[in-house]
Amino acid sequence: MLEWARTAKTGVQFFARLALKGVASDAMRSFAQTFRANLVAKGVADDDEAVWSIIPRLLILEFDFESGAPQARSHAVTIARQVALETL
């Protein structure tokens, strides 16, 4: 879904593709609806273009804090700390 947002030319185009049954999954639509609701709750206009302009900037980082490899866990914690500090 994030890749679609990055390649779409407009918010209308992105949300039209997302609405297509058999193209996007229910999970993708649910994620987009939840993301939109959270943005609107924080004051962003409930408008396809306004919401779409933010979605391509979203980056989801995945960390495996349960890894059995101590170096992998240490690296994940270090990266998570850096990301958290950059967002302050």
Tens digit of each residue's pLDDT (9 = 90 or more) over 20-59: 999 999 999 999 999 999 999 999 999 999 999 999 998 8
> In the prediction, which pLDDT does 65 show?
65
- DSSP code, position 24: B
- How many helices and strands (H and E) does the chain possess? 5, 0
Higher pLDDT, 77 or 88: 77
User: Could you tell me the pLDDT band of residue 73, with boundaries at 50, 70 and 90?
Assistant: confident
User: What local confidence, expressed as pLDDT, does residue 87 receive?
Assistant: 67
Rounded CA Rg of the chain: 16
The answer, as to whether pTM is greater than 0.95, is no
Output the pLDDT for position 52: 95
pLDDT score of 88 = 62
CA distance 15 to 83: 29
By the 8 A CB rule, do 10 and 56 touch? no
